[in-house]
Amino acid sequence: MVRESVISCTEDYKRREEAGVARRNSAARQEVRRGGNAIFPVEGALVRAPREFSAPDEHGMERLRRLDECLAVINNAFPGVETGISLCRLTCALLEGVWRERAESNEIAPYDDSCTCTLCAHLPKPLTRALDDYDWRRSDGRPLRIKTWPYRKELDSVLTGGWVWTRKMNDSDRDLGLRFRHEDDILVLHEYKRVQSAIDVADTARAVEQRLAEDCTTNGARALISGLYAAYKRSVDEYWLKRHVSGTATLPQSTPLDKSAYTLLQLMDCLFWHVSPDSELWQEEHLASLVLCRVLNDMTDARADAVTGEASNFWLSAMSTHDKALYGACVVALIKYGCMPEAHGLLWNTWLMGTTIVWEGLTGRHALWFDGITNGLPPVDGCPLCGIEPNACTGLLTDGVALRVGGTPAVDVLGERAALLSARCRAEHPQAWRLFASELAAFEALHGEWRGDVDTAWEILRRTYIAAVLASLAGGEGAREVQTDSGNVGAALFHALHRPPTWKEDTALLAYMFGCAHPHFLWNAQGFAPTAVGGDWLDG
């Protein structure tokens, strides 16, 4: 059904990607960090259909029956969302089958780390971690208690702010109007289920009902479908995890999910959260961005989920080392692509990847600054990640993607404002200055001259990227403190990234530094080590 709905990418989109890469490679000097060029082929995720899974048990059938009743109500009120309703129903049935098969399986698949290709060779060796190292991952802890949205007291989290932030950016290029706030609240209520003491659930629910009655929109219907899916996924997770804790079922540290089934689950997980116009909803560029944003989130969460057993991102652990490395490289390539001016303006949802990686870096709830910090800086020479070319990854679902790795262009002279950032780093943190300045030069080759807010960018970068570089130089010492402080600076300055005229400039720079700059803290956070399932069942 998804393959039939996908609209192939347009020639105009391809031409923009090629023009941006050509500009980057011709307008700047080539600082070659590895010999020759390489191409890594990535197979389309939906080339093969997922296999059939077990039928739901009687509890699962009852959950599906209740879901059908709710979906019928939406379908009667909004006849234009049949595809979304069908996808929601099929995905929930897939979840039921996968969970049952996992619980009834006696085989534990070995962790596949046998690949020795260039990308896999650059994956970090995971540090030894225990459950206590991940108490920051609890959903009732920080930063969910930190309210960052300046004009609202209840659901003012970085989570909600991230959605509104992305839509404001997209709306400035293609003025489609922001989604109503009550439609966000439908989705947020499920994320906050486990911290109900922090919000007035009943009052928020009444507000949602009243606004839905006043503003009956297709986006509202999509939000309701997404909310049903989020609630359903939570109920299935909790059902099987409760059985695991009680001893009536045993969940092995493995999953029967293959790559195409993983992709479909992640696609449903965010297809209607990030609203796009109907004409672009099923366009492959949009879908590829959605899937890779989920992969980005999963990569940086996989280590924590391996320890705590959380299911929503745990599925990624079943992929081979090589497939995970390829997906991680696709994320790096797409972040670089989003830093180029050629990436924006054609499709509505083009800021999604950039805002996602910045959101991750400023929440303190992801492993970016914790598991991503290495013991010492890896060498820049010979690093293939630095040489990954920008790529929109439009064929991720269908025909596949060819990732190219070569040299790293850089400008000879930094622009005025980037030079001010470099000067501050040289004065305050000279140990990190040469690396920071070289990455600024590589960023300006991608983006053009940076014209952002020096004070805001420096305050964030010195407490995130630069602090993480210094922690690496200190042998990894203080990594946890960097992560904690990233949540603090995100809470204090997240709203500043919503302010024109510098917001897009600041977002692009932070996305590059968090996702692409050496020593690649995003890539380092892919480190995975399987351990026994345990922890607080509410968090997995």
Residue 149's pLDDT band, with cuts at 50, 70 and 90, is: very low
Kindly state the average pLDDT of the residues 56-80: 93
Check whether 193 has a pLDDT greater than 80.
Answer: no
Cis peptide, bond prior to residue 501, ω within 30 of zero: yes
Lowest-confidence range among 2-16, 70-84, 366-380? 2-16
Q: What is the pLDDT of residues 104-127, one digit of tens each?
A: 876 656 666 678 888 888 888 877
* DSSP string across 145-190: TS---TT-SSS-SHHHHHHHHHHHHHHHHS---PPPHHHHHHHHHH
Could you give the count of Cα atoms lying within 13 Å of 324 in the half-sphere of its Cβ?
30
Q: What is the pLDDT of residues 428-478, one digit of tens each?
A: 999 999 999 999 999 999 999 999 999 999 999 999 999 999 999 999 889
Cis peptide, bond prior to residue 143, ω within 30 of zero: yes
Q: What is the pLDDT of residues 417-427, one digit of tens each?
A: 999 999 999 99
Which neighbouring-strand residues pair with 7?
283
- Judging by DSSP bridges, how do beta strands 29-31 and 38-42 pair with one another? unpaired
Nearest to 326 by CA among 353, 292, 359, 351: 292
**Mean pLDDT value across the chain:** 83
Residue 539's pLDDT band, with cuts at 50, 70 and 90, is: very low
pLDDT of residue 154: 41
At residue 508's C-alpha, the angle toward residues 507 and 512, to 5°, is: 115
How far is it, in rounded angstroms, from Cα 427 to Cα 326?
Answer: 38
